[in-house]
């Protein structure tokens, strides 16, 4: 009972947590491995999988639209951040646009507070001059005019089924699932076509996304507790070409939950989910220290995925396996295109809470590369090339806590 009280207090106040250990961490990956079932379960908008969970306690919930125009080189994301820290709820629209094919292209990065926001019908989101709406055909539209430097009208049309891991995609923190005091949740629409326009009124830039060549990824995520208590590090990659996609979403908890790792990945072909590995290794190679932040950034990655091929996902959610397979995504990252100081992007009252927590200094290192190669164990001679958006996020430096 005492530990439950401690967990409840720390989740509200932001104070450092005691070391509960792995016994207080109940991951979705451990559950699906224990059940010896294929981790993949279909996620649908009609089944409320893509609804905003909108818990009343401290949380951060995001809806993120990644896009990559393979012909013109434009890539980036639009994101809604819906945050509740117990005393107030805020919403933010962030947008990033990058292009490595245009020399001296000045990337767009905006972060804009939303006004008069609301969740409609569970899954739609509205604010002044912004709307996210699911259509009857399963497509998803985002329209934003909240910032003149990032006017967007985008339609995401799924090419594959949505994905969640297990029947319940939540990872729980606490003495047991029944006595949880926090959770982490992800649901994916892993491969979409994207249509629409992006406009920057400041520079006059107008981007018409290339029909048939622009692909997207939609992710809903919920950190249902203080983010720096839920995870100390993140690894993310979205690799895509005209025939395949690969997504990795991995986080590691602070030592309070045993430095436990949850690693989920999705691999698709043109129109079907083919594997959802949960036994993955995300290795950073050739790290260089960033003297300004104290963190290190990578020059190369070697990400390995071990899972079961999916035999058939068209009939129902009882997915059959077609044998074990391993994938490897490897190659240089070349340049950091952005180092995001997260503390510069959050409201002041959130900053006041988080800045008082020892060793919490969140930074996101973002990369874009066309130099990664994807291989698979059942096709020895196959080497798949594509474009990749890669992120490495650091939140809590436990080395400082130990000093």
Q: Per-residue DSSP letters for 314-350?
A: SS-S-PEEEEEEEEEEEEE---EEEEEEGGGTS-HHH
Residue 79 near residue 97, CB atoms below 8 Å: no
Contact 244, 269 (CB under 8 A): yes
- Altogether, the residues listed in the chain come to a count of 403
d(CA 162, CA 168): 14
SS3 assignment, position 76: strand
Q: pLDDT at position 359, please?
A: 56
Picking from 81, 155, 95, 183, the residue whose alpha carbon sits closest to that of residue 125 is 81
Q: Show Cβ contacts of residue 178 under 8 Å, excluding neighbours closer than 6 positions.
A: none
Of residues 228 and 163, the one with the higher pLDDT is: 163
Summarize the confidence of residues 330-337 as an average pLDDT.
88
User: What predicted TM-score, i.e. pTM, was given to this entire model?
Assistant: 0.92
249 against 10, higher pLDDT: 249
Sequence-ordered list of residues with C-beta below 8 angstroms from that of 43, at least 6 positions apart, any chain: 49, 50, 161, 162, 163, 164, 169, 187, 188, 189
pLDDT at 179: 94
- Taking residues 319-337, report their average pLDDT: 85
From residue 356, how far is each of 5, 10, 16, 226, 400 by CA, in Å? Answer: 21, 13, 10, 13, 14
Q: What is the CATH number of the domain that holds 303?
A: 2.40.370.10
pLDDT digits (tens, 9 = 90+) for 232-277: 999 999 999 999 999 999 999 999 999 999 999 999 999 999 999 9
Residue-wise pLDDT tens digits, 48-107: 999 999 998 888 899 999 999 999 999 999 999 998 877 788 999 999 999 989 988 999
pLDDT (mean) for 190-218: 97
Res. 346 pLDDT band, cuts 50 70 90? low
CB 296 within 8 A of CB 310: no
Tell me if 163 sits within 8 A of 273, measured CB to CB: yes
What is the predicted pLDDT for the residue at 353?
A: 46
d(Cα 167, Cα 131) in Å, to the nearest integer? 29
d(CA 46, CA 274) in angstroms, rounded, equals: 23
In the chain, % of residues over pLDDT 70:
87
Mean pLDDT of the chain: 88
Mean pLDDT of 379-396: 91
Percent helix, strand and coil across the chain, each to the nearest 5: 10, 55, 35
Note down the domain range covering 19. 2-402
Say how far apart CA 205 and CA 190 lie, in whole Å: 28
Report residue 17's pLDDT band, with 50, 70 and 90 as the boundaries: confident
Of 71-85, 276-290, 314-328, the poorest mean pLDDT is in 314-328
The tokens describing 365, both together, are 């290192």
Which of 247, 362, 251 shows the shortest CA–CA distance to 27?
Answer: 251
Q: What total number of domains does the chain contain?
A: 1
- pLDDT confidence band for 318 (50 / 70 / 90): low
């Amino acid at each position: 009972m005492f530990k439950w009280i401690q967990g409840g207090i720390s989740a509200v106040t932001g104070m450092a947590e005691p070391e509960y250990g792995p016994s207080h961490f109940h991951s979705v990956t451990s559950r699906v491995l224990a059940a010896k079932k294929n981790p993949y379960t279909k996620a649908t908008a009609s089944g409320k999988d893509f609804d905003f969970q909108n818990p009343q306690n401290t949380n951060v919930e995001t809806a993120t639209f990644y896009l990559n125009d393979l012909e013109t080189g434009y890539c980036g994301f639009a994101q809604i951040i819906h945050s509740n820290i117990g005393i107030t709820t805020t919403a933010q629209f962030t947008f990033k646009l990058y292009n490595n094919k245009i020399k001296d292209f000045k990337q767009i990065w905006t972060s804009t507070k939303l006004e008069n926001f609301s969740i409609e019908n569970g899954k739609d989101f509205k604010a002044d001059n912004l709307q996210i709406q699911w259509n009857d055909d399963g497509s998803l539209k985002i329209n934003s005019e909240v910032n003149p430097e990032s006017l967007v009208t985008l339609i995401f049309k799924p090419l594959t089924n949505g994905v969640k891991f297990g029947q319940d995609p939540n990872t729980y923190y606490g003495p047991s699932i029944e006595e949880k005091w926090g959770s982490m949740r992800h649901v994916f629409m892993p491969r979409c076509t994207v249509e629409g326009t992006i406009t920057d009124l400041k520079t006059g830039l107008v981007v018409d996304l290339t029909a048939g060549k622009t692909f997207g990824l939609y992710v809903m995520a919920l950190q249902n507790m203080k983010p720096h208590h839920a995870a100390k590090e993140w690894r993310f990659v979205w690799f895509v070409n005209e025939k395949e996609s690969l997504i990795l979403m991995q986080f590691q908890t602070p030592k309070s939950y045993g430095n436990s790792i949850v690693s989920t990945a999705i691999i698709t072909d043109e129109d079907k989910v083919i594997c959802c590995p949960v036994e993955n290794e995300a290795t950073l190679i050739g790290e260089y220290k960033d003297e300004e932040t104290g963190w290190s950034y990578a020059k190369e990655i070697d990400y390995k995925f071990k899972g079961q091929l999916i035999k058939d996902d068209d009939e129902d959610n009882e997915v059959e396996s077609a044998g074990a397979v391993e994938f490897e995504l490897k190659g240089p990252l070349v340049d950091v295109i952005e180092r995001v100081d997260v503390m510069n992007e959050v409201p002041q009252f959130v900053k006041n809470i988080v800045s008082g927590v020892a060793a919490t200094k969140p930074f996101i290192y973002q990369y874009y590369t066309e130099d990664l190669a994807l291989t698979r164990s059942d096709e020895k001679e196959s080497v798949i090339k594509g474009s990749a958006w890669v992120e490495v996020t650091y939140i809590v430096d436990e080395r400082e806590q130990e000093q």
